[in-house]
Structure 1
Amino acid sequence: MCGRYGRRSDKQYIAEHYRLGDLRDVPLEAAPDWNITPDSVQPVIRLSKDSGERELAFLKWRLVPFWSKTPKPPFESINARADNLLTSSAWREPFQRRHCLIPGEFFYEWEQIDKKRKQPYAVALKDDRLFSFGGVWDRWKDHDRGHIIESFAMITCDPNGTMEAFHDRTPLVIEPSDYDRWLADVEPSQLPIDLVRTYPAEGMKAWKIAKLIGNGPHLLDPLPEAPPPALMLF
């Protein structure tokens, strides 16, 4: 599971990276955030229903399927496993019709040391660039009150060599050259299932960090290495 991520980029940089054009009419800000948590509202890139062009939208990070009876999904839905995208009723339709790109520059995972202790890691691409998690989104409507929730989930794949030492999943990363294919509205037979793949270990780095307390660049500070044990001289 990927349950925390972050980005240094602001709304303007995101607009430039995804070639979104003028965002002066977009009411919300996409400020840098080093500790993005589930249930927060975050920027994603999707295709506009009206124009068919890329748009910046602000969605809740925990997908609420359109068929859910309540705004609280009946299952854990911040992540969608790659191997369930075409078989699960939760993910099949979003994967067929509603892809999105989730801007990020790093994410966090935890290694289970023992029953009581976990060691957090920060993970990023080796060149520290802004990248896109591959995601799916959905729109839920309360038919009695008319309330609408648009939400997203991040797709996860099998771990690569960098991740498998401390975790069993890796978020899907979509390269800029594949943005158009990922977002395109296509027939089920043309879905970009080949893009749902584990990111190469050689392009990723991970390092131990302290507990995630607060929000800011300090969360990415490497954990100091423990000094070697002192030699006992007799």
Structure 2
Amino acid sequence: MCGRYGRRGDKQRIAEWMQTHNTNVFDELDETNLSPSFNVAPQTFQPVVRLNDETGERELTVMRWGLVPYWSKDGKASFSTINAKSETVATSPAFREAWKTRRCLVPADWFYEWQRLDENTKQPFAIALKNDEMFAFAGLWETWKDKTTGRKLRTYTVLTTDPNEVVEPLHNRMPVILHRRDYVRWLAPTDPAHLPIDLLRPYPAEEMKVWKVSKAVGNTRNDDPSLIEPLQEAATVPTTPSLFE
């Protein structure tokens, strides 16, 4: 799964990396939503990249993490929707319409996973690309409208797949990370018979790295660069997968 991630990039860096042509930020949100965050948590507003409905160009905007289906009666999901499984995204009522027409890129520099050491202890790890470049999770977005007030809420989810050899010792799922060459295809409107299901695969393990980090990341109120500093102790990842909640 992907329940926490981090991002060094601010609005300018994201726009340059994702080759967006405008930065449309909704009026009710401020610039802090586009500032770097070292501990991105569900239900917070974060930058995503999608195609503009009118121009067809990429745009950088802000949405809340945790997809709310357009058909929700109260603006809430009946189960956790921060992630969507690749294997069922085409059939799940919560995600299938967004999968067809509302795909997005979720900018990130790393994500976190926790290894269970014993019944009461978990050790967090950070996982990133070896070249330390920004990357994009494969995401879906949705708009929910309050029928009483007309207020619109835009939300997103991160797709997950089987883990590669780097993530497998820590968790039985990992977020779908897209190669930069696939951004155009992921975002592009597509015939229902040719949706980019083949892109929902584990990222090459040889291009990724993992290291132990402070348990302080477990508290969502902590958000500073110290969270991703490697622990001084040996950061050996176990070779046997552990079970997670």
User: When the two structures are superposed, what TM-score results if normalisation uses the length of structure 2?
Assistant: 0.88
Structure-2 change in CA distance of 1:46 and 1:24 (3 Å): closer
Question: Which residue does the alignment assign to 1:74?
Answer: 78
Question: Which residue does the alignment assign to 2:130?
Answer: 126
* Aligned counterparts of 1:165 and 1:23: Cα–Cα separation in 2: 38
1:40 is aligned, of 26, 39, 44, to 44
Q: Which runs of 5+ in 2 are unaligned?
A: 235-245
Question: Which residue does the alignment assign to 2:147?
Answer: 143
Percent sequence identity is: 47
2:60 is aligned, of 39, 44, 56, to 56
Secondary structure of 1:202's aligned partner: helix
User: When the two structures are superposed, what TM-score results if normalisation uses the length of structure 1?
Assistant: 0.92
The amino acid of 1:112's aligned partner reads R
Question: Which residue does the alignment assign to 1:93?
Answer: 97
2:213 is the counterpart of 1:209: yes
Aligned length: 226
2:227 is the counterpart of 1:225: no
After TM superposition, which residue ranges in structure 1, 4 or more long, deviate above 6 angstroms?
24-27
The amino acid of 1:105's aligned partner reads D
Secondary structure of 1:60's aligned partner: strand
Question: Which residue does the alignment assign to 1:156?
Answer: 160
Over residues 132-185 of structure 1, what are the superposed CA-to-partner deviations in whole Å (9 max), with x where a residue is unaligned? 000001111111221211000000110100011111111101111111100011
The amino acid of 1:54's aligned partner reads R
Aligned-residue offset at 1:23: 3.8
* Aligned counterparts of 2:26 and 2:44: Cα–Cα separation in 1: 18
Aligned-residue offset at 1:26: 7.4
Question: Which residue does the alignment assign to 2:18?
Answer: 18
Question: Which residue does the alignment assign to 2:242?
Answer: none
Secondary structure of 2:99's aligned partner: helix
Aligned CA RMSD, in angstroms, stands at 1.5
Structure-2 change in CA distance of 1:41 and 1:196 (3 Å): same
Secondary structure of 1:95's aligned partner: helix
After superposing the two structures, state which structure 1 stretch, 216-225 or 96-105, moved more: 216-225
Question: Which residue does the alignment assign to 1:189?
Answer: 193
The amino acid of 1:51's aligned partner reads T
Paired residues of 2:6 and 2:110 also in contact (CA < 8 A): yes
Q: Which runs of 5+ in 1 are unaligned?
A: 227-234
Question: Which residue does the alignment assign to 1:229?
Answer: none
The amino acid of 1:222's aligned partner reads P
2:121 is the counterpart of 1:113: no
Secondary structure of 2:118's aligned partner: coil
Larger radius of gyration: 1
Question: Which residue does the alignment assign to 2:237?
Answer: none
